[in-house]
Chain A
């Protein structure tokens, strides 16, 4: 996750990685970024502390690392602290109502739910302080929002949200994949960690997309249960093609294309005032686009042809990138 000048270009590469053979998503967001982070009713003390820790970690990342505008970062908690509201249904309605009013079609909202879920089947509910909202009520609050919306329900019994909240262009991630997965989840722990480690950055573009965070967290949860020696009681699901079905991380499918270009941070474009470097950056962009194009055509080529063409492009890309680094004297990203 370097802070190098390659970010903008890398984002394009990241897009191409996921798109190979998949549907064309909307372009990456360039508008304002909004976030609503809710810690629901804590229940037992041990969970209260755990959930509060996750909330703090996540909000800290969004505020300090991803530079969310304080006015766009709404935090609701079981025990509200300064600048936070209480996680009641009324406050949720108010927050989403205000966000819906403020957002434009080019803006992005990420809603993250931390806490407990309950209820049966499609009637599942995220546990708020006081009365809960059912899936239909959540949908009614989200639907008026213009712009891209991603909702991540990290709680137990969250599966109902996949079908219940799906909408064109919307990313829905849930910690559970069946109605019967009702035990406390560890997904949020790994989901938040994803934004703090290079390992989650699969395409090494310096940014963690929601899809990458989902993949990392899914792997982490799987390993958590394996190491614990118990059967996994949660399997996360991602849905963003609008069919309301979703898939888990071990399955391939169209879901994830939009999540792959949805980030916490805003976009950045690699530019340089040095014409020589700018020329190289332009060439670098062209090469990454050519690689992206080549990968799209992979299914129609022999392996031998693909490998030969890929190596040619990759080698030139590596050489150009090295030249950019040398000329701009940008320190290389630290080795993991």
Chain B
């Protein structure tokens, strides 16, 4: 393991870089005179507004030759006329090597592969660290970014952080965005717009930064930029980026063609064409586009980086890693290329390779949050227990390994066996499964950043990572269902050669959950029914779009699983297989439906709509909001009247039941609540009819009825560990073994770190003759740290004895007697095991 004592995130924490670098500033040319500086600033502002005409007018109006040359060069650069700009900038830069022209020329050199010249010019600028003016620091910041001294650049920006200047704040935002810090970027862009609400680069920056998190706000900002400067090169580039995610390549080409027209020969345009080439033709198609990038800058990694990003977006991480390797080969000093390589290798499961690339990236750039996060995560993973198992490699935290592997391995085996048959595929392996007790570690494994609050698991094709039960509050989720879900992705992704659209792979995984256990993957039934009742569901056609918006994601997942259930009903597993294979061959949605089901998308849509109406129509009707004004809980007569008038309305019955409880009329409450429960048995949680009925029955000491209600609740509310525990306790007291077995199994699945439950479950299994199953539970109890070790060892020993493993049973008996020599069961076990 590499030691990372020096791996402190430096970005934003290094004012020392400037404070310690005391370099005297001579009188030699620091640029144009103040008056002239004012004019070039005006040119920049006009360009920032996207007003090329005004920029040119201002530049041409300048009387000072240097200022005029610089202003016109800025216009040239905006228009992609690099050669013209170079001609204008060179004499000025030579005269004033610490001035704006030198900076622009240095940046141009770096951008076009004249690295030595660029460095020579920019290094002179970055060597100077103390300045009297904001513009000086801004120049330093830009020069430092040009030479990839990101810490210095950030430090310089910090010195001028309060400057109410759109250009400064906007470029600082660009720096943040490039370092994968969209939140900080938005802050800077916002400040830019506060300083100048017409600053187009800031609008584009916000649109880019918010694209994943808040599509609507992103689009609004993009539209605002388009309204002001429809032909701004950065806007056209942004449009091309966005369109890359859609199926059709035409809009991308259109945007890039427009970009080429207003600003020819940009490396970004050429690199974007490389991404497009990958999208349409795979890795091999990238080379011609990459060659074009090399013409513009022989050492640029951008073509391969963009193509790699495109491959990663399509979950083709082997391709992404291959392209990232080319990017690294093109420019070993590009920290982003090294980072990309590390990230993609992690997603292929090559963690050692990833570490090398990430370490290299970190050595170049100690400001990169995601690099640091991933390296820290690799350190964490180094301490995990690695369990090779058939086609899998599991990684568990040391504290959880003994318990989780007892469950995870057989579950994964079962999934693998079922999916292999169902999808006719033996997936490329090994399949790496990492289970994290810290949710943020899972989030970093998935996205490189902590957070990702809603996600439980992720799959990159051969790598599955997920939350362990300890990563979330108890009862929050079923980690069994999550593992089952993620492993289904392995098959749908690989069978489709990673071309399966998101709606389908999620739909398949959700449906596979449901196939495994009826309650799994059906948690959103009530919400879906409400949406259906309001005609706010999506249907087959609108599902892909629903997956793009966070606010519709949960419902989209649910409906996708229903679509897959419907597809499976149409033509069985063969239909699903055919569909995935169609995608593998490059089919789009409409073609895939026709190929797999012999039906048009419209026909499938129609039959799906009928299917969901039949399945959830009654529920949708039942969960409608009752008409009329809201009735307070205290107005029992009104609630009663409403419930009488609407016997099929869930909310009317439930609210009546609750009010009757408050009024102390439990018998009548029970009638209303049972009606509510029958109308919407999927209702879950503490406020649900079943929960209330069960609690009432407990209060009334009617444990048989309480058990029935808990059981009915848990048939749907399968992660409700509190209800499961209450059922287990009642069942144990009543010796209702069937209920007890059900409840104990559920608790053990949801909270595998409850030693007492493992013990009780093990004893039940042993009583039923399932010694292997019992042994698993007893060993789990021992691994967790049983409340009573002597009993736990004896339990395990008795199961071992039943399995004929006498020597192990004897050892367990002795372990028990070391704590409790007079323990009769242990003594008996010892005698039997020795006989």
Contact present for A226 and B828 (CB under 8 Å): no
Instruction: Give the contact stretch, choosing among A28-36, A95-103, A155-163, A317-325.
Output: A317-325
A202 close to chain B: CB less than 8 A: yes
* Chain A 294-321 interface mask (CB, 8 Å, partner B; 1/0): 0100000000000100110011011101
Contacting residue for B474 out of A199, A227, A332, CB 8 A: A227
In the bound complex, residues from chain B placing their C-beta under 8 Å from that of A200 are: 787-788
A314 to B820, CA, bound (A): 10
B791 close to chain A: CB less than 8 A: yes
Q: Per DSSP, are chain A's interface residues mostly helix, strand or loop, or mixed? A: helix
In the bound complex, residues from chain A placing their C-beta under 8 Å from that of B820 are: 13, 17, 202-205
Instruction: Give the contact stretch, choosing among B257-265, B496-504, B567-575, B811-819.
Output: B811-819
Kindly identify, within residues 184 to 238 of chain A, every residue whose CB is under 8 Å from any CB belonging to chain B: 198-205, 216, 219, 223, 226-227, 229
Contact present for B825 and A335 (CB under 8 Å): yes
Contact present for B474 and A203 (CB under 8 Å): no
In the bound complex, residues from chain A placing their C-beta under 8 Å from that of B814 are: 307, 310-311, 314
In the bound complex, residues from chain A placing their C-beta under 8 Å from that of B790 are: 202-204
* Chain A 1-35 interface mask (CB, 8 Å, partner B; 1/0): 01000100110010001000000000000000000
Contact present for B789 and A204 (CB under 8 Å): no
Question: Closest chain A residue to B790 by CB distance?
Answer: A204
In the bound complex, residues from chain A placing their C-beta under 8 Å from that of B828 are: 318, 322, 332
In the bound complex, residues from chain B placing their C-beta under 8 Å from that of A333 are: 824
Contact present for B821 and A325 (CB under 8 Å): no
In the bound complex, residues from chain B placing their C-beta under 8 Å from that of A311 are: 814
B751 close to chain A: CB less than 8 A: yes
In the bound complex, residues from chain A placing their C-beta under 8 Å from that of B822 are: 6, 9-10, 13, 203-205, 288, 317, 321
Contact present for A314 and B791 (CB under 8 Å): no
Question: Closest chain A residue to B472 by CB distance?
Answer: A229
B223 close to chain A: CB less than 8 A: no
In the bound complex, residues from chain A placing their C-beta under 8 Å from that of B706 are: none
Contact present for A13 and B821 (CB under 8 Å): yes
Contact present for B791 and A229 (CB under 8 Å): no
Of A199, A204, A314, most buried by chain B (CB within 10 Å of CB) is A204
Could you tell me the distance in whole angstroms from the C-beta of B829 to the nearest C-beta in chain A? Answer: 9
Contacting residue for B791 out of A9, A288, A336, CB 8 A: A336
Contact present for B821 and A199 (CB under 8 Å): no
Given A205-B820, A314-B821, CB of A322 within 8 Å of CB of B789 = no
In the bound complex, residues from chain B placing their C-beta under 8 Å from that of A310 are: 814, 817-818
Could you tell me the distance in whole angstroms from the C-beta of A284 to the nearest C-beta in chain B? Answer: 8
A203 to B791, CA, bound (A): 9
A291 close to chain B: CB less than 8 A: yes
Kindly identify, within residues 58 to 80 of chain B, every residue whose CB is under 8 Å from any CB belonging to chain A: none
Contact present for A199 and B827 (CB under 8 Å): no
Given A315-B834, A321-B822, CB of A202 within 8 Å of CB of B827 = no
Contact present for B831 and A319 (CB under 8 Å): yes
Question: Closest chain B residue to A332 by CB distance?
Answer: B824
Given A314-B814, A318-B827, CB of A17 within 8 Å of CB of B473 = no
Chain A's interface size range is 35 or more
Contact present for B831 and A322 (CB under 8 Å): yes
Of A200, A223, A318, most buried by chain B (CB within 10 Å of CB) is A318
Kindly identify, within residues 143 to 194 of chain B, every residue whose CB is under 8 Å from any CB belonging to chain A: none
B449 close to chain A: CB less than 8 A: no
Could you tell me the distance in whole angstroms from the C-beta of B351 to the nearest C-beta in chain A? Answer: 31
In the bound complex, residues from chain A placing their C-beta under 8 Å from that of B787 are: 199-200, 216, 219
Could you tell me the distance in whole angstroms from the C-beta of B751 to the nearest C-beta in chain A? Answer: 7
Contact present for A223 and B821 (CB under 8 Å): no
Contact present for A291 and B474 (CB under 8 Å): no
In the bound complex, residues from chain A placing their C-beta under 8 Å from that of B725 are: 227
In the bound complex, residues from chain A placing their C-beta under 8 Å from that of B825 are: 335
Given A199-B788, A199-B791, A325-B824, CB of A17 within 8 Å of CB of B474 = no
Contact present for B830 and A318 (CB under 8 Å): yes
Contact present for B827 and A322 (CB under 8 Å): yes
Question: Closest chain A residue to B794 by CB distance?
Answer: A204
* Chain B 239-254 interface mask (CB, 8 Å, partner A; 1/0): 0000000000000000
Given A227-B751, A314-B814, A314-B817, CB of A321 within 8 Å of CB of B824 = yes
Given A199-B791, A229-B473, CB of A291 within 8 Å of CB of B831 = no
Could you tell me the distance in whole angstroms from the C-beta of B755 to the nearest C-beta in chain A? Answer: 9
Contact present for A317 and B821 (CB under 8 Å): yes
In the bound complex, residues from chain A placing their C-beta under 8 Å from that of B721 are: 227
B823 close to chain A: CB less than 8 A: yes
Given A223-B754, A310-B814, CB of A17 within 8 Å of CB of B827 = no
Contact present for B824 and A202 (CB under 8 Å): no
In the bound complex, residues from chain B placing their C-beta under 8 Å from that of A203 are: 790, 819-823
Contact present for A202 and B751 (CB under 8 Å): no
A166 to B821, CA, bound (A): 32
* Chain A 263-306 interface mask (CB, 8 Å, partner B; 1/0): 00000000000000000000000001001000100000000000
A201 to B822, CA, bound (A): 12
Given A17-B820, A229-B474, A321-B822, CB of A202 within 8 Å of CB of B788 = yes
In the bound complex, residues from chain B placing their C-beta under 8 Å from that of A315 are: 830-831, 834
Of B473, B790, B817, B819, most buried by chain A (CB within 10 Å of CB) is B817
Contact present for A202 and B754 (CB under 8 Å): no
Contact present for A202 and B819 (CB under 8 Å): yes
A318 to B823, CA, bound (A): 9
Kindly identify, within residues 140 to 161 of chain A, every residue whose CB is under 8 Å from any CB belonging to chain B: none
In the bound complex, residues from chain B placing their C-beta under 8 Å from that of A199 are: 756, 787-788, 791
In the bound complex, residues from chain A placing their C-beta under 8 Å from that of B788 are: 198-202
In the bound complex, residues from chain B placing their C-beta under 8 Å from that of A317 are: 817, 821-822, 827
A226 to B470, CA, bound (A): 9
A43 to B828, CA, bound (A): 51
Contacting residue for A291 out of B753, B821, B830, CB 8 A: B821
Question: Closest chain A residue to B829 by CB distance?
Answer: A318
A9 to B763, CA, bound (A): 29
A169 to B458, CA, bound (A): 58
Question: Closest chain A residue to B817 by CB distance?
Answer: A314
A325 to B825, CA, bound (A): 12
In the bound complex, residues from chain B placing their C-beta under 8 Å from that of A335 are: 825
Contact present for A288 and B821 (CB under 8 Å): yes
In the bound complex, residues from chain B placing their C-beta under 8 Å from that of A288 are: 821-822
A to B CB contacts below 8 Å, 29 in the list: A6-B822, A10-B822, A201-B788, A202-B819, A203-B821, A203-B822, A204-B791, A204-B822, A205-B820, A216-B787, A223-B756, A226-B474, A227-B474, A229-B475, A288-B821, A288-B822, A314-B814, A315-B834, A317-B817, A317-B821, A317-B822, A318-B826, A318-B827, A318-B828, A319-B831, A322-B831, A333-B824, A335-B825, A336-B763
Given A199-B787, A315-B834, A322-B827, 19 extra CB contacts under 8 A: A6-B822, A9-B822, A17-B819, A199-B788, A199-B791, A202-B788, A203-B790, A203-B821, A203-B823, A204-B822, A226-B474, A227-B754, A314-B813, A314-B817, A314-B827, A317-B821, A317-B827, A318-B826, A318-B827
Q: Which residues of B contact A (CB under 8 A)?
A: 473-475, 721, 725, 751, 753-754, 756, 763, 787-791, 813-814, 817-828, 830-831, 834
- Enumerate the 8 nearest inter-chain pairs by beta-carbon distance, A residue then B residue, closest first: A318-B827, A204-B823, A229-B473, A204-B820, A203-B820, A314-B817, A199-B788, A318-B830
